[in-house]
């Protein structure tokens, strides 16, 4: 149980220590999160009766009637065209796993403020108390008239794939599972620049991905779409290959798309001679396996807080090292992708986020630092002000070119 003290200002009991031993009064994270991290702010004044009559009744009735007659006006006269729902069921939260919808809210609030801070996009956390994919789809579809886009967040595989697919089939607004596609876009951007830095072509690379969940599947697909020569995906049982009889439908499809060399066996055996390691799985890769990679390999070990290959170990063998951590160079961080992707899609009224839009986002992100490349700078900082505008413009142009506009 948490301990309790009396707050002298109001005489009420206040919990100060959790079962884990964290002191909520001293921990700065609790101080920052107290009361939540976001609020709704009006964009118009309500100073007097005239303002009130325009912002609400009777003036609002004229706007409602116009939208009822011409539904497309909702994008011009409400916030719909610039707001995203950040939807989760709390089943795969950060490194915490299945902690439920209430415990996921601090993360969803954080995601919402990142949308605003980095992309100028308003976002609303929506934590759902259900796990059935069809129930989630139905719930989000019923909420969708209020939003211009849906960002799915921290939903466990494999149901995240089904939920995204069914929602996009049903809705005419972008649906984007950031754990899949945001990670994939940033990974591709970093790989493009690592290849440029070392004078290699994507088509000549063999990439081994550790992890066949949401991120691993999306990374494999975007790398193949970008022209990477050979992608091998490994799960807990080793290489995802067509000769295995224990694969889910998603992994079976993945096996058909990947592993051009027909490898079998363990992750460690697959790494022998590999040009790139991409980790989205956790666990630890033994150093001898890293040592057997191709000379000048790239190691993108993205598990948090503990990378699959420690950066100090990776640096002994790799020419470029990236992680998911902010305290090492080359942080592969989704915030480099999702704010700009949604900003661009919303700007032009895109109905979906397509593969070509994601590829355009990755190329634009890579181009931000293309003239500044170094082993410790193959990806921009999340605080680089050039990032979101560059990604948004590329995504908007790709959407217009592809004609996926409402």
- Alpha-carbon span 203 to 170, nearest angstrom: 36
CB atoms closer than 10 angstroms to residue 225:
15
**Range 226-238 burial, b when 16+ CB lie within 10 A, else e:** bebbbbbbbbeeb
As a 3-state breakdown, the chain gives helix, strand, coil percent values, each rounded to 5, of 45, 15, 40
> Count of CB atoms within 10 A of residue 290's CB?
23
Q: Which of 12, 56, 77, 116 is catalytic?
A: 56
Structure tokens at 92: 């795969």
Q: What is the largest CA-CA distance in the chain?
A: 75
Q: Which of 199, 332, 214, 237 is nearest to 277 (CA)?
A: 332
> What span, in angstroms and rounded, lies between the C-alpha atoms of 366 and 186?
8
Active site residue 166: no
Residue 56 a catalytic site member: yes
Query: Catalytic pick from 80, 82, 111, 251?
Result: 111
d(CA 201, CA 183): 21
Name, in order, each residue with C-beta under 8 angstroms of 152's C-beta and a sequence gap of 6 or more: 87, 88, 160, 163, 164, 167, 175, 176, 177, 178, 179
**What's the rounded Cα separation, in Å, for the pair 197 and 191?**
10
Residues in the chain: 406
Three-state DSSP class for 78?
coil
Q: Please report the sign of the dihedral spanned by the C-alpha atoms of residue 113, residue 359, residue 228, residue 212.
A: positive
Phi, psi of 60 (to 5 degrees): -60, -30
- Nearest Cα neighbor of 228 from 176, 274, 294 is 274
The answer to whether 179 and 160 have CB atoms below 8 angstroms apart is yes
Yes or no: say if 126 and 88 are a contact pair by the CB < 8 Å rule. yes
Residues labelled as active-site residues: 56, 111
């Amino acid at each position: 149980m948490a301990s309790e003290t009396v707050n002298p200002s109001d005489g009420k009991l206040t919990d100060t220590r959790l079962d884990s031993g964290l002191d909520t009064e001293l921990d700065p994270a609790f101080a920052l999160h107290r009361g939540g991290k976001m609020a709704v702010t009006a964009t118009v004044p309500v100073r007097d009766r005239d303002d009130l009559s325009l912002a609400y009744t009777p003036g609002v009735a004229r706007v409602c009637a116009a939208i009822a007659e011409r539904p497309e006006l909702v994008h011009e006269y409400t916030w719909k065209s610039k707001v995203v729902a950040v939807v989760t069921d709390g089943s795969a939260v950060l490194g915490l796993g299945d902690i439920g919808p209430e415990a996921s809210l601090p993360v969803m609030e954080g995601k919402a403020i990142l949308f605003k801070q980095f992309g100028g996009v308003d976002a609303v956390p929506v934590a759902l108390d259900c796990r059935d994919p069809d129930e989630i789809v139905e719930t989000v579809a019923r909420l969708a008239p209020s939003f211009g886009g849906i960002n799915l967040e921290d939903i466990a595989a494999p149901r995240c794939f089904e939920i995204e697919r069914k929602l996009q089939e049903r809705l005419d607004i972008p649906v984007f599972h950031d754990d899949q596609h945001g990670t994939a876009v940033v990974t591709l951007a970093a790989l493009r620049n690592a290849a440029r830095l070392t004078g290699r072509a994507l088509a000549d690379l063999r990439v081994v991905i550790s992890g066949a969940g949401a991120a691993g599947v999306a990374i494999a697909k975007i790398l193949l779409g970008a022209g990477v020569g050979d992608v091998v995906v490994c799960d807990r049982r080793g290489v995802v290959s067509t000769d295995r009889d224990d694969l889910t439908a998603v992994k079976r499809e993945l096996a058909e798309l990947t592993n051009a060399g027909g490898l079998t066996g363990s992750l460690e055996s697959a790494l022998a001679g590999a040009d790139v390691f991409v980790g989205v799985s956790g666990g630890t890769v033994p150093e001898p396996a890293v040592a057997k990679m191709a000379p000048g390999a790239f190691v993108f070990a993205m598990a948090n807080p503990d990378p699959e290959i420690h950066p100090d170990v990776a640096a002994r063998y790799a020419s470029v090292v990236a992680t998911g951590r902010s305290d090492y160079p080359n942080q592969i961080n989704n915030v480099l992708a999702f704010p700009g992707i949604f900003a661009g899609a919303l700007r032009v009224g895109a109905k979906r986020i397509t593969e070509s839009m994601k590829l355009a986002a990755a190329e634009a992100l890579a181009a931000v630092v293309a003239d500044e490349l170094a082993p410790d700078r193959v990806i921009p900082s999340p605080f680089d002000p050039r990032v979101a505008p560059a990604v948004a413009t590329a995504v908007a142009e790709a959407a217009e070119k592809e004609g996926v506009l409402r």
